[in-house]
Amino acid sequence: MSRILKHPAQSVNTVEQLPPSPGQLARTRAWSHRGFQIGTGILILLILVAIFAPYLAPHHPFQQSLPNRLLPPVWVEGGNWTYPLGTDQVGRDYLSRLIYGTRVSITIGLSAATIGLLIGVTLGVLAGYFGGWVDHAVSFLLTTQLALPGLLLAMALVFFIGPSLIVVICIIGVLHWTYFLVVTRSATQHIRSLDFVAAARASGASSRQIIWHEILPNLSSKIIVIFTFELGIAILAEASLSFLGVGIQAPTPSWGLMIAEGKEAIFYRPWLVVLPGMFLFVLVIGANLMGDGLRDITSPEEKS
């Protein structure tokens, strides 16, 4: 076979540089994206707090001490350093409970978001790729799911089935796959219409091979972005359920539950409500900043 080199793709009189890969470009963008760095930093920090909770918390979160009930945090008159952020109605150290609370929120958030991902992405890719009746069925399922009042249904199910960790995770996960579905489905439809998928079919690839090799790699960055947002949503969902009394039950330290417990004393001891809320706020904003940052980094043309 002779070589056909008469039409070189580069200029005759200059030397071209190797173009950067998408990964390199993304890393460069990540280095200068303030929001992404802050968000990821917060998230990593709180995950570490969750993992090392036993070493960080000064007391055991369940340990009651009735003589020391309702102590204020250290910067308010009456507070002391033994209980830096004060105590709750039965004398448990607030700082320790807040630290252990990261475990609850992060575990439930990650697990529920993963369940949502598995359901939503699978349905989305199938609906987007195969179209036809599959798409119609999935669309109907989607509309039905969206019409269901999620919080209400979650409350009812958790209450009736029984509030355990697994139940809460599963129910939140099963009610939060719609965002994954919508984005994955339209992205799959778009990718499927591109010529490189047609070229793959012309080379003899089967549907399974195409979905795995051509479509999923082009979806991965979108899916990760949605995962971070759903993480925040799942965390807030658990907090809402626990606040209403149909989520995590006492004495486990869930931040939402702590806010509910502190609600009674809200006027004289506002820290009982303010502190857990701040932790929730920081964790979720970390996840959201990371998600926004990831979106800007991986597809700068969609920057919003």
Q: How far apart are CA 54 and CA 112, in angstroms?
A: 24
Instruction: Report if residue 11 touches another protein, rule: CB under 8 A.
Output: yes
Instruction: Pick one of 55, 67, 267, 301: the residue that binds another protein (CB under 8 A).
Output: 267
Q: How far apart are CA 184 and CA 219, in angstroms?
A: 7
CB of 122 to another protein, least distance (A): 20
Instruction: Pick one of 27, 51, 206, 212: the residue that binds another protein (CB under 8 A).
Output: 206
Q: Near another protein by CB under 8 A, which window of 56-64, 107-115, 122-130, 242-250?
A: 242-250
Instruction: Report if residue 239 touches another protein, rule: CB under 8 A.
Output: yes
φ and ψ of 179, to 5 deg: -60, -45
Instruction: Report if residue 263 touches another protein, rule: CB under 8 A.
Output: yes
CB of 245 to another protein, least distance (A): 7
Using CB under 8 A as the binding rule, the residues of this chain from 20 to 39 that contact another protein are: 20-22, 25, 35
Using CB under 8 A as the binding rule, the residues of this chain from 182 to 201 that contact another protein are: 194-196, 198-201
- Is residue 57 within 8 Å of residue 95, measured between CB atoms? yes
- Is residue 163 within 8 Å of residue 249, measured between CB atoms? yes
Instruction: Pick one of 224, 245, 250, 265: the residue that binds another protein (CB under 8 A).
Output: 245
Using CB under 8 A as the binding rule, the residues of this chain from 135 to 164 that contact another protein are: 140, 143-144, 146-153, 155-157, 159-161
CB of 133 to another protein, least distance (A): 13
Q: How far apart are CA 41 and CA 89, in angstroms?
A: 33
Which contiguous run of DSSP H or E holds residue 141? helix 132-147
- DSSP letter for each residue of 8-55: -SS-SS--PPPPPPHHHHHHHHHHH-HHHHHHHHHHHHHHHHHHTHHH
